[in-house]
Amino acid sequence: MPNRTVFGIRATARVAMKHKATARVAMKHRATARVAMKHRATARVAPTQSTMRHLTSILLLGFCANLFSQNPHGTALKYDCAACHSPAGWEIMADEWERETLVIPEDRVGVPVKTKRFSHEQTDFALTGRHKGVDCRSCHETLVFEEAQTTCISCHTDLHQMTVGDDCARCHTTQHWLVDNITALHQENGFPLLGVHAVVDCRRCHLSETDIRFDRIGNDCINCHFEEYTATTMPNHTAAGYSTNCEDCHDVAGSGWLWSGGGANHLFFPLTGGHQINDCAQCHVGENFMNTPTDCFACHQSDFQATTSPDHEAGNFPTDCKVCHSTDPGWNATDFSQHDQLYFPIFSGKHDGEWNECTDCHTTPGNFALFSCIECHEHDNPGDLANKHDEVSGYSYTSSACYSCHPRGE
């Protein structure tokens, strides 16, 4: 039965002819050797300097010719012929390839071992994945193996037309051409696929004449969403001069374009408490998103004027709502700590925790300039207070008199 070769590899006619030529060269060398022997015999009889120089030249030429004429694979391949071939012939037997000894030499338990036989692992291009099953001649077009290039692009046609570089290994493996790390690739490229971007068809963003040409489109939102930006009328983004960076107002990780308090960059006016609304028009009247005032009174003037308990206008209350209120719904007065410095300590000192409502001390409806000290706790007994102040000149049982002597509540 004829010898089998893997992947159809056989010694080509050219190789056979080279080896025949090598045989002829060897015969010439043997003839040269016989001539040299005759010269040596002559030299024994009457050696001269001229004869010795001639003999040396012949030997050197013969040695060099023998050295370079026997290896059709170039000078870089330093292996002995027996590393691949056998005395039976120049063909590489199929059983050698079936054991993959020319690819990854292994011992009996399948562990790679060091060997004197040729292994592609010992080159700059290890054979992995589909490369193991490729016909050698697909990469090695000549018998000088070192002429084969190791770059992907030297063997594989760039179907992406240089839009993603020439390093196939950046996206593909030697197992197959499928790409299963698209998310990681976009992350490395500076555009993580968040929200809807993670499931959108690649062709929605990468527009080209083929489905596998990925021209760079930039990482800015407006590069893809310019039409949505200009087509939006509620509110009109173009007229309002909105930022073209969609992330300023929209949540990239969200499922749509709906604006939400948590997803918008509204840090210039934090949307907390009662301000967490989804209807922009409640504050931005007439689609005016550029000149909307940020002071409390601009939006809450009607609330301020309608309040009667206490009457904010009559009491000459400040129009800065946050002086007394927080943004929590309900308008509950949570803090007016300025009262301690401006008027009388009620959040510190002896009166801290002794009151519940402003009207506990400001008993005259609508007039917070007036206050009472004698209508609460131990001060509501005139006789008892008179006895305590019998040595105080000009003592009178009035709130103004209390305040004149005890302005800090001491």
Residue 87 contacts residue 160 (beta carbons within 8 Å):
no
The answer to whether position 191 is within a domain reads no
Whether residue 139 sits in one domain with residue 23:
yes
**Of 171 and 104, which is predicted with more confidence?**
171
What's at 297, amino acid-wise?
F
The answer to whether position 103 is within a domain reads yes
Whether residue 265 sits in one domain with residue 321:
no
Q: What is the pLDDT of residues 305-336, one digit of tens each?
A: 998 877 888 777 889 988 888 888 888 776 77
98 CB neighbour count, 10 Å cutoff? 10
Q: What is the pLDDT of residues 133-162, one digit of tens each?
A: 788 888 888 888 888 888 888 888 888 888
Domain with 370, as residue range(s), is 307-405
Q: How many domains does the chain fold into?
A: 3
310 CB neighbour count, 10 Å cutoff? 19
| Exposure string for 152-179, b = 16+ CB within 10 A, e = fewer | beeeeeeebeeebeeebeebbeeeeeee
Whether residue 232 sits in one domain with residue 141:
no
Phi then psi for residue 112, to 5 deg, are: -55, 135
**pTM for the structure as a whole:** 0.39
pLDDT at 106: 52
C-alpha torsion sign, points 301, 306, 310, 311: positive
pLDDT at 128: 82
Give me the chain's average pLDDT, please: 74
The answer to whether position 185 is within a domain reads no
Whether residue 337 sits in one domain with residue 262:
no
pLDDT at 301: 93
- pLDDT at 285 > cutoff 60: yes
The answer to whether position 335 is within a domain reads yes
pLDDT at 114: 56
Q: How many Å apart are CA 361 and CA 368, to the nearest integer? A: 9
pLDDT at 69: 53
The answer to whether position 383 is within a domain reads yes
Average pLDDT over residues 91-111: 55
What's at 222, amino acid-wise?
I
The answer to whether position 163 is within a domain reads no
The answer to whether position 194 is within a domain reads no
Whether residue 132 sits in one domain with residue 30:
yes
Q: Which of 147, 179, 199 is the last residue of a domain?
A: 147
- pLDDT at 261 > cutoff 60: no
Whether residue 311 sits in one domain with residue 374:
yes
Q: How many Å apart are CA 187 and CA 144, to the nearest integer? A: 42
Whether residue 143 sits in one domain with residue 23:
yes
Counting residues of the chain whose pLDDT is more than 90, the rounded percentage is: 3
Whether residue 141 sits in one domain with residue 35:
yes
Whether residue 311 sits in one domain with residue 279:
no
Q: Which of 101, 128, 147 is the last residue of a domain?
A: 147
Whether residue 334 sits in one domain with residue 273:
no
Average pLDDT over residues 369-380: 80
Whether residue 130 sits in one domain with residue 228:
no
pLDDT at 297: 92
Whether residue 330 sits in one domain with residue 261:
no
Span of 136-140, 224-228, 332-336, 341-345 with lowest mean pLDDT: 332-336
Counting residues of the chain whose pLDDT is more than 70, the rounded percentage is: 73
The answer to whether position 155 is within a domain reads no
- pLDDT at 68 > cutoff 50: no
DSSP state of 46: S
Q: How many Å apart are CA 318 and CA 262, to the nearest integer? A: 31
Residue 321 contacts residue 307 (beta carbons within 8 Å):
no
pLDDT at 381: 83
pLDDT at 305: 92
Q: Which of 101, 125, 147 is the last residue of a domain?
A: 147
State the DSSP string of 249-302.
Answer: TS-TTSSSS---TTTS--TTS---GGG--S-GGGTSGGG--SS---SHHHHHHH
Q: How many Å apart are CA 391 and CA 96, to the nearest integer? A: 124
